[in-house]
Structure 1
Amino acid sequence: MDPSNLTSLPEYSSEEDPQKLSAFSNVPDRPATQTYLQKYSPLEWSGYFDREDDICIPGSNDVFHVYVAGSEGPVVFCLHGGGYSGLSFALAASKIKEKARVVAMDLRGHGKSCTENDLDLSIETLSNDVLAVLKTAYGDTPPAVVLIGHSMGGSVAVHVAARKAISSLAGLIVVDVVEGTAVASLIHMQKILSSRMQHFPTIEKAIEWSVKGGSLRNIESARLSVPSTLKYDDSKKCYTYRTRLEETESYWRGWYEGLSEKFLSCSVPKLLLLAGTDRLDRALTIGQMQGKFQMVVVRHTGHAIQEDAPDEFASLVLNFVSRNRIGPHGIEILGLPRPQQ
């Protein structure tokens, strides 16, 4: 090549588009990284529920806190597990409210509810609380109600349904609680409770622990539900658990003994959601073979199915409502007119 021709070659300055220099320079921008506080910061319930209410029970000083979503359809009344709160159902409620009303209650000794005896978690008292809230909220003409209960709340839902005190009860959904497994695990419960991290310097640390070392797997749900399970201890200058479950051991066996037979005896449509097939006891295995209830195993979740897989949980609930033709006033047969308002 004639060296004199080199002067005619194009020159690249440092100011030109670097992408023209090399294909390897065409690197996409890195996504913005979340700071620790952003990743584990609390979320507001208002992004998921439509409102919150305090329900004062006549003749007592008991005030129960509820979160409400939706304006049409049957009432999906949600009862959380021991140590959780009504916000355990927040992510699922934001989906269910498109076709049904959702009411998630903070049980006695949990969340923002305040009662004369927060440590009385006997199954009788918890069941009476649910019935009192329904009575106060809806009077003698309640809309169709589908009871959903997770863990301890599942036991409460079954006992409430078995009492046949809700004239408009149209369905029962129990989430990851089976009598045989629950009773067998009671001897380990105190050890499990004591092994939890007990004190948190910040709410963000509590949220982080609940996902990394606790029972939750969904960060978004943990950011919603975990703050409502804590209270600030001024003397220790840290956050501790709102519910003192370790002091309620005398009530634990009452939550679960006889649960399977009570569940099977309920005459309304029933759905059992489990995180694993190994949790069915003998009575439920026989009942399931006889077609007495529907069962779905939701895999790849932990104990709190509604928090770990909220979209799937919401779909299962809405499918249950649709499959059993549960309308705002109760069971509706297709082809017949709905009752007048």
Structure 2
Amino acid sequence: MDSSSNLNPVREDNSEEYRVPREATASAFSARPLRPPSTNSSDKYSPVEWSSYFDKEEDISVPGSNDVFHVYMAGTEGPVVFCLHGGGYSGLSFSVAANQIKEKARVVAMDLRGHGKSVTENELDLSIETMCNDVSAVVKELYGDSPPAIVLVGHSMGGSVAVHVAANKTLPSLAGLVVVDVVEGTAIASLIHMQKILANRMQHFPSVEKAVEYSVRGGSLRNLDSARVSVPSTLKYDDSKQCYVYRTRLDETEQYWRGWYEGLSDKFLSSPVPKILLLAGTDRLDRALTIGQMQGKFQMVVVRHTGHAIQEDVPDEFANLVTGFISRNRIGPHGVEIPGLLRRSQPKP
């Protein structure tokens, strides 16, 4: 694939060069105890518990259904940074960044249906409408009729969900939108290659450690700390094959892919909240976004030296971008105090 595919939804799990394992489920992960530091190669790639970064996890049941969505939570004060992961990832994709964001805001990272520890009646219904309804239902169950200020953060497929939720105005307290490495034109153009990319991934892993190693050495993730906590939740153990496989059956959801991205640029531009687009490369803007950016309708930041999963590859920079965005737009009851960044409502001494 060409370099522009870096941002592509198709590259949600992009790593074809190196062949090692990378699939296991949350249940397999949670059964593994923490291991002491070691120079052993296997220990280098050993799983790290979610509790190293988040404060708690919860299962959110949706009334009138058998759907139960898993969320990870961190922080106690400030607006809620509600994170939506990309296809094939999980809420733990935001782990390392959440550990820093929680000093300034609350973080909620949700496992979308068919992903992570969430369990739903139809695991393959990844239509944009269904996923948007899932997000609204989870927010409703968490906060009732008086939700706090919410900043939606979405990566790749999760970015399209965030944009649609914002454009549909289903969250009354929505105060900001952060979209990570997804642009309509590039995404749609890449869909023709997605099945091939999924098929070319390593499909079976003898251990969770091998899956973590595959993700880092294969290039889909560039930060080992993040991979050790996020990758295990993208896998499940297959008893019949006696190995780990991918938990999410992305290859069986093709009928929904185009719906994730068609009209995304216009919906993003029309979303009635402050918004920022974080990109891993400059070749991603389509015509509508280029014009909108020139007109100052949104902020754009190109994050250098990173792959598609910006929040995992450079979590510190990602966290600073999110908290800086919250501060500049004074989101929350008092905004977020960032040292050296003066709020407009405060006169200089």
Q: TM-score range by the shorter chain?
A: 0.7 to 0.9
Distance 2:193 2:287 in 1: 22
Q: Which residue of 1 aligns with 2:12?
A: none
**Alpha-carbon distance between aligned partners in 1 of 2:335 and 2:170, rounded to the nearest angstrom:** 15
Find out whether 1:334 has 2:345 as its counterpart: yes
Mapped pair 1:177 → 2:177:
no
Q: Supply the distance in 2 between the matched residues of 1:170 and 1:101 (Cα, whole angstroms).
A: 14
User: Is 1:74 aligned to 2:85, yes or no?
Assistant: no
Q: Give the AA of the match of 1:126.
A: M
Asked if the contact 1:168–1:330 (Cα under 8 Å) also holds between the matched residues in 2, the reply is: no
1:334 maps to a residue whose letter is S
Find out whether 1:123 has 2:128 as its counterpart. yes
How far apart, CA to CA, are the structure 2 residues paired with 1:159 and 1:330? 25
Deviation at 1:37, TM superposition (A): 1.8
- Contact 1:143–1:330, Cα closer than 8 Å, also in 2: no
1:89-114 per-residue CA deviation (whole Å, 9 max, x = no partner) reads 00000000001000000000000000
Percent identity between the two aligned chains: 79
Could you tell me which of 202, 206, 214 is aligned with 1:201? 206
The separation in 1 between residues aligned to 2:38 and 2:281, in whole angstroms, is 35
SS in structure 2 at match of 1:326: coil
Partner of 1:306: 311
Query: Aligned equivalents of 2:196 and 2:230: distance in 1?
Result: 24
| Residue correspondence of structure 1 range 136-147 to structure 2 within 5 A | 136-147=141-152
Does residue 165 in structure 1 map to residue 174 in structure 2? Answer: no
1:96 maps onto 2:101 in alignment:
yes
User: What residue ranges of structure 1 are gaps of 5+ in the alignment?
Assistant: 1-31, 336-341
Q: How many residue pairs align between the two structures?
A: 305
Q: Is the 8 A contact 1:42 1:223 kept in 2?
A: yes
SS in 2 for 1:66: strand
Higher relative contact order (CA 8 A, sep 6+): 2
Give the equivalent residue in structure 1 for 2:230.
225
- Tell me, what secondary structure is at the counterpart of 2:177? strand
**Deviation of residue 327 (structure 1)?**
1.5
Gaps of 5+ in 2: 1-36, 337-342
**TM-score computed with the length of structure 2 as normaliser:** 0.85
What residue number does 1:319 align with? Answer: 324
- SS across alignment from 2:199: helix
Give me the whole-angstrom Cα distance separating, in 2, the residues matched to 1:241 and 1:88.
Answer: 15
Give 1:261's match in structure 2, choosing from 260, 266, 289.
Answer: 266
Match of 1:172, SS state, is strand
Tell whether the 8 Å contact from 2:56 to 2:73 is kept in structure 1 after alignment.
yes
Q: Distance in 2 between matches of 1:329 and 1:123?
A: 33
Any conservation in 1 of the 2:234–2:248 contact (CA below 8 Å)? yes
CA offset at residue 334 of structure 1? 2.9
- Aligned residue identity for 2:138: V
- Supply the AA of the counterpart residue of 1:259: L
Deviations 1:134-188 (A, max 9, x none): 0111111100000000000000000000111111100000000000000000000
Indicate conservation of the 8 Å contact 1:74/1:329, yes or no.
no
Correspondence for 1:134: 139
- Kept after mapping to 2: 8 A contact 1:186/1:253: yes
Task: Say which SS state the counterpart of residue 327 (structure 1) adopts.
Answer: coil
> What is the one-letter code of the residue matched to 1:288?
Q
Match of 1:237 in 2: 242
